[in-house]
Amino acid sequence: MNPWSVQTLVPLPVLVPLFAAGLALALHRYERAQRIISVTALSVVVAAAAGLLVAARDAPVVIDVGGWAAPVGVNLVADPLAALMLLVSGVVLLCVLLYSMAQGIADGGGRAAPAVQDSEAIRRILEAQDPDADEARRRGVLPVAIFHPTYLILAAGVADAFLAGDLFNLFVGFEILLAASYVLLTLGGTVERIRAGSVYVVVALLSSIIFLLAVGLTYAATGTVNMAQLAERLPDVEPGIRLGIQALLLLAFGIKAAIFPLSAWLPDSYPTAPAPVTAVFAGLLTKVGVYAILRTQTLLFPRNEVVEVVLLVLALATMLVGILGAVAQDDVKRLLSFTLVSHIGYMIFGVALATAASTAAAIFYVVHHITVQTALFLVVGLVERRTGTTSLERLGGLAALAPGLAVLFFVPTMNLAGVPPLSGFLGKVGLLEAGVLDGSALAWVLVTGSVVTSLLTLYAVIRAWNKAFWQPAPEDFRPPDETRLPWGMIGPTAALVGIGVALTVVAGPLYDYAEHAANVVMGDAVYVDAVFPDGAPRGTGESDDVTSEEGGP
């Protein structure tokens, strides 16, 4: 491989954050250095993803890690879908990082929120106990600043999941990001966070066990876990075993994506975390599960009418149960958590229809939802910082108190509800058109359910905006004395809100790219030919050098 070819970009989204995490951990006493390392690493990830987005349009970019040929070696595949997800996730992770750093600085130092808020309290105790101690001595007993290393490991896990060319590496990617998420979700160690984090950890471990069981069964049935090779071998597997593998993978990914009835853990887990952590979890982590469903259903199990019907029913249930839960909430964080569950149903709707049009619409909707949902949780973090609460019963009059905040909340909520001509509307129209073209009775039920869900989403978010921003504040409403929000927190939030709006402006080219990505993931020959360019699997357990010398494959 030419060391400076486009293939050089493929491992960077995984390797750079991992290397930066180790460096940030080694420099845990130097918060400014940690900030520089983190921002630089994620900027490199964004640049590499942008390069791959362009390069992958012509053909998927593949590398064999260590020079060992697939399927024995590990290969990373950057096709249009993976490249698009890498770019969106990189931008979101960078914006949330900038937001969290500004929050930490505003709270009194880089060691403060959201990384280790208790560090500042410990520092004050140490100062009281020994006023003469120098700063170096105090730093020696402070907890290690783990936010930056953990956040970078999370970014590496997300990138690895998107680039994985085999099921086991996909499992490894999930485990990397989940291990980091356990730490981030329980930062601060409050009773509420530990309780919610415990549920999250148990559910995540259960899904990991199911995923690992599916990987083992897949290898036993086919002799490989390489996805390109599986696309060729799975059709020859006995139908009952193939259905069992498919069901196990869907169950594991369904838990991670929070599909009903596997979504009960989410509304209680995410809202307890610090605002930036909740934002990146809600916006991104569930979409990694959706991505895994999309990848495996299109490449490994292209058509199965029974499974498609089950997915359509689950998509409808996810939409309706989620949005009915949102309507019943009086806390903005919990309301958004339920809308998150509800809108996962739209994406599963697109996957279940299993056509190029529906898959393209699902991909477009995933991109839209990642940016909008993350932006909304960041805005809610600003609301909580300005008022000290996210309860709709205690909020009011924010439109007069903080008009800029009212705009930042209003725009993405309208986008989430699908108000024309925003990107949420365009994504929903694409899914509805695909449902109408399908023409089945169940598809029409989903079309109706999608419209109802969209209207109820509009009702829920308008009700929240009206209570928090428009109606007079309750008499006992006493916001904190601080009147100005840090610009460092407002800037990344406004940027994500702007990106959500910009998706409307570039909807044409973006939809074209989503259609191209859908055609690639549904046309397994493109993916297989990219991984095995010589027309047959090279998987002999030998390195590229050996296979080349022997005139392989």
Six-digit token pair at 161? 């999941």
3-class SS at 225? coil
**Cα 428 versus chain centre, distance:** 20
CB 92 within 8 A of CB 374: yes
Rounded CA gap, 333 and 336, in Å?
5
CB 38 within 8 A of CB 24: yes
Rounded CA gap, 112 and 254, in Å?
35
Residue 119 scores a pLDDT above 60: no
Lowest-confidence range among 329-338, 473-482, 542-551? 542-551
Residue 540 scores a pLDDT above 50: no
Rounded CA gap, 442 and 464, in Å?
32
Average predicted confidence (pLDDT) for the chain: 86
Cα 330 to Cα 1, 324, 383, 477: the distances in Å are 56, 13, 15, 16
Q: What is the pLDDT of residues 156-208, one digit of tens each?
A: 999 999 999 999 999 999 999 999 998 888 876 677 778 778 888 999 999 99
Lowest-confidence range among 169-173, 194-198, 317-321, 323-327? 194-198
Report which of residues 6 and 221 the model is more confident about.
221
Six-digit token pair at 504? 């409307």
Instruction: Quickly state the pLDDT bin for 12 (edges 50, 70, 90).
Output: very high
Residue 541 scores a pLDDT above 90: no
Instruction: Quickly state the pLDDT bin for 105 (edges 50, 70, 90).
Output: low
Q: Can you give the pLDDT at residue 324?
A: 94
Residue 67 scores a pLDDT above 90: no
Q: Can you give the pLDDT at residue 283?
A: 85
Instruction: Quickly state the pLDDT bin for 45 (edges 50, 70, 90).
Output: very high
Residue 151: φ, ψ to 5°: -65, -40
Sign of the dihedral defined by the CA atoms of residues 201, 205, 211, 212, in that order: positive
Lowest-confidence range among 162-176, 187-201, 368-382, 412-426? 187-201
Instruction: Quickly state the pLDDT bin for 529 (edges 50, 70, 90).
Output: confident
Six-digit token pair at 502? 């910009």
**Residue ranges covered by each domain of the chain:** 7-106+142-534
Q: What is the pLDDT of residues 354-366, one digit of tens each?
A: 999 999 999 999 9
